[in-house]
Structure 1
Amino acid sequence: MDKKVIAIIAAVIIIIAAVGAYAYTATNSPNTSVLRISTTTSLEDTGLLKELEAAYEKKYPGVDVQVVSGGTGIAIQYGERGDVDLMLVHDKTRETKFVDDGFGTNRTQFAYNYFWIVGPADDPAGIKGLNATEAFKKIAEMGQNNSNVKFVSRGDASGTNSRELKIWNSTGIDINSTKNSSSWYIESGKGMGDTLLLANEKNAYTITDSGTYLSFSKDAKIQLVPLITSGKDLLNIYTAIPINPQKFPKTNVQGAENFVNFLMSQEGQDIIGNFGKATVGQSLFTPLANNPLPA
């Protein structure tokens, strides 16, 4: 065979091999220029994640942070499918199971605030001064006999909804049976912002993370007032969980690790601790790197 022909064939083989190697790499290696994050709506609705994202992309030029927002249940579903590299959620029970089942590598608690029970200023059920369990029990009792007492639930398997159901369980009331036969209990099936707006429209009670409430109330979007704002049952802890690359090899491990480290860095914690001061006059979240959780 002519040497020129042999050289051409060899060159073609090299090109084909190179293309194949590139295709294999593109298919099986993580895309380190994109960091995919699933998050709860409260971090998105308040605007905190947008600020953290901007600071992170400035620190790591060339990295595109892509965020999908939903309730914690939806965020976890993304993680279970390997559709994201990192989750930012707030439901310890499901977080622990997620890691124990091998979907996540570890849990890093980076911030907290409180769930608040909010409602009409005239407080028709008279819950102010009660604890969360007592308040829910009284809302249910009054709702059966007073058309002015209503409660709006997210009903979306979010972290907030999970905490709400935990409180209902502590009252001894079977809320699943009650909601099917009672008009006072309303499910929005939506995120926190939309649920607050619906509760405001219905002049009803609801449970919300304090950050989203403060964000929505600052522009008078809602007239509901905080009635119960503290207590162990209402502590709301936010956690970062990287997706396990042993289960999903295309996970951007380095990007997820960098983001968690950024959240826990002085810069990240300062952003979290200062967020809200300029707009609502107080922090919407408390950073956890150097602060103990409330007793």
Structure 2
Amino acid sequence: MSWSDLAMNGRILIVDDAMENIQILHHALRDEHDVLFALGGEKALQIAHNQMPDLILLDAVMPGMDGYEVCSALRSSAAVRDIPVIFVTALTHPEDETRALEAGAVDFISKPFNVAVVRARVRTQLTIKRQADAMRELTLTDALTGVANRRSFNETMENEWRRCARSNTTMALIMIDIDHFKNYNDAYGHQAGDVCLQQVSAAMKRCAGRPPDMLARYGGEEFIILLPQVGVDGAEVVAQRILDEVRLLKIPHKASSVGPEVTVSMGVSTVQPTEESDSSSLIRSADALLYRAKETGRNRYCMSPGD
């Protein structure tokens, strides 16, 4: 499949205060794309955050919040800042185009617009976005296991921390370590160790399958699971499920002092994030509880100092 093929079937958000313009653009794009629309800037921002379009066609001059303000708001939000914006406007002066580009737009189309030109520029920007998304995916994914890497976890952790703080909801974190993994590598070889990491990470991923959940490889044989909007009881359910799933793998581990098969140890911590608090405290807590789980026999999880 070519990049141009991937530019089809995009989700396009059209933002214009004139319904006739929306209808023309909708008719031009509906055969190739899923088309959304908004008649004002505030509604456009709401749709952008809730439905995550691949591209936004944005009118510059609108009552209330104009296109430049909308574009600036999009660029200031980590969740939607990477959505490309094409200004579609009756303004034709060079300084208007310059202002649009400085606000963060990737292209500028003047009204009255040529439908063929609109289609072509939409395809071009979608192709560029899909390429950028693919490159970003490579930089945020652990090559061996296919789960998120530490950089991706750090970015997501900060975003979810702020989201939970705003919504006044709890967050849980599970720090996981494969027991005696160095001994496993020494006994079976690094190639077998890689396969073990892949099998265990796949099992853990099955245990935290909600859209906001994230499993990441934190380093070596250490993994971390982020569970936004999950409390103590929910986190314990996930931790117990992980123990059960890893046991079901029945991966032989003759060099383990825990038992004849691969096991994991976990530290489980929960917190109510606030705007003033720092996410690093939750990571430190989960790490300390993981250490306690390993010190008290491994193949278990600890949730508090008294576990």
State the TM-score, normalizing by the size of structure 2. 0.25
Q: Which has the higher contact order (CA 8 A, sep 6+)?
A: 1
